[in-house]
Structure 1
């Protein structure tokens, strides 16, 4: 059985100027998703109007996930899923703090609340249970990233053993940092980009096309065979879809 997953920081609607404006980019983002036909897409930074705009262009997909303040007005870690392939069983948000059940909670001295969303699916016409966790770690505090990574790692360990896990995200940290090492040490998942040279793992490019930081990846259940990893560095419709390149992983399990 084949599973395709994408991690994609959409760039929040600041708003930007020129060809970086959301209205100029949303079609390009949809084009990428249509091209790869993923089962799941972990997105970061999208506000609700952006997520609705994107879903309108992707009728085969639905999304789940609240925002980081609990008000519906801030950035989401929304998960898009192909509803023809996947049957949603359960989804939940949690917050990267000492009180993860409280929306918008901040206890690690960050300026902004941080969160994760997870969703469990039954893969249609199979007995495969697939759980994806999607997050966006803090952009300023190494301590918050490390504690957030620790909380997420504990979360991964708590899912039933029959669940095949994916972790998507903008981790705001390179692979050699403690936050990423915490995630890499989780015995249930592996970093899909780890076999690439560090220079080839870079994804953040600030709308320049020249990536400078390796901060986005997908951690995959160790029972998956990683068939292909792609960082899509192409423009679509003559625009950069985002200030991050998307990460695409093609997986196989059971055959």
Structure 2
């Protein structure tokens, strides 16, 4: 049933979930290099308020820089994370993944650059406006014993070819994951665009379409710093899922776009997207 079209002001939208449910959030934090009136030192308390209220099981971030993410990590009690800057080491932005360490154990992880040389740190191709990468983690759920993968990506903002090729690389990575998997991130394009078609025709399912319940309207996730959300615009931040074999089906229970703001200030120029799923629950 559709929600009444009003912005999310009260937190949480979802909040912490108990097993066997998994709460995943994708959040483009906007780089800490932003200037007034959207400086990181002003936005940080708002971002922290959202994360502390929602307590996602897995948090996929885009654009965060190392110092910025360290600051968030200090406020996220009980979370572990994996990070690598797209320029290598702590340099530049990243596709860092955080997780609730009391619930999930990391079993493996890797980083892939979206280029013709995916193992070459800092490589790019196809007219991309900047370096683009994907980070993935394989988790074991301590509560249920089930394994699943989560991949986090940030596709290019400038080149449609880079987005299409990047989406195909994402699909290739996801196809190598045996069992359930989630792909989340900022895709810089909306449903129906080429990147979305590549992924959904390749076997992934948009969690928004699959959700049993929408907690919000389909807000445009790129808010351009406006505090009032817009319905019917581009939802460029997605969560996609794929099921595993028998007893490993992914079921999406809820999905929503979190439009919380305070003091006439948006926490980021993107609204975070959230979903709750389970594996093998009938």
- What TM-score do you get using the length of structure 1 for normalisation? 0.92
Retained in 2: the 8 A contact 1:193–1:201? no
Is residue 39 of structure 1 aligned with residue 66 of structure 2? no
In structure 2, C-alpha distance between the alignment counterparts of 1:78 and 1:174, rounded to whole Å: 22
1:121-179 Cα distance to aligned partner (Å, 9 max, x none):
1111322112100000000000000000000101000112x3x2011110001111111
Is residue 220 of structure 1 aligned with residue 241 of structure 2? yes
> 1:194 is matched with which residue: 178, 194, 209?
209
Shift of 1:238: 5.5
Measured at CA, do residues 177 and 5 of structure 1 come closer, stay the same or move farther in structure 2, by a change above 3 Å?
same
For residue 229 of structure 1, what is the aligned residue in structure 2? 255
Gaps of 5+ in 2: 1-19, 244-248
Retained in 2: the 8 A contact 1:106–1:112? yes
Secondary structure of 2:167's partner? Answer: helix
Retained in 1: the 8 A contact 2:129–2:157? no
> 1:185 is matched with which residue: 201, 209, 213?
201
For residue 14 of structure 1, what is the aligned residue in structure 2? 33
Is residue 110 of structure 1 aligned with residue 136 of structure 2? no
- Please tell me the root mean square deviation across aligned C-alpha atoms, in Å: 1.6
In structure 2, C-alpha distance between the alignment counterparts of 1:181 and 1:231, rounded to whole Å: 21
In structure 2, C-alpha distance between the alignment counterparts of 1:117 and 1:35, rounded to whole Å: 25
> 1:131 is matched with which residue: 143, 149, 157?
149
In structure 2, C-alpha distance between the alignment counterparts of 1:95 and 1:65, rounded to whole Å: 14
Secondary structure of 2:196's partner? Answer: helix
1:64-123 Cα distance to aligned partner (Å, 9 max, x none):
121111142200000011111001111111100011011111222223111000011111
Equivalent positions of 1:39-58 (< 5 A) are 39-58=57-76
In structure 1, C-alpha distance between the alignment counterparts of 2:202 and 2:104, rounded to whole Å: 26
Equivalent positions of 1:24-173 (< 5 A) are 24-160=42-178, 162=179, 164-173=180-189
- What TM-score do you get using the length of structure 2 for normalisation? 0.84
Secondary structure of 2:106's partner? Answer: strand
Secondary structure of 1:193's partner? Answer: helix
Alignment length, in residue pairs? 249
In structure 1, C-alpha distance between the alignment counterparts of 2:264 and 2:74, rounded to whole Å: 21
In structure 2, C-alpha distance between the alignment counterparts of 1:147 and 1:54, rounded to whole Å: 32
* Greater mean alpha carbon deviation, residues 43-52 or residues 24-33: 24-33
Retained in 2: the 8 A contact 1:13–1:47? yes
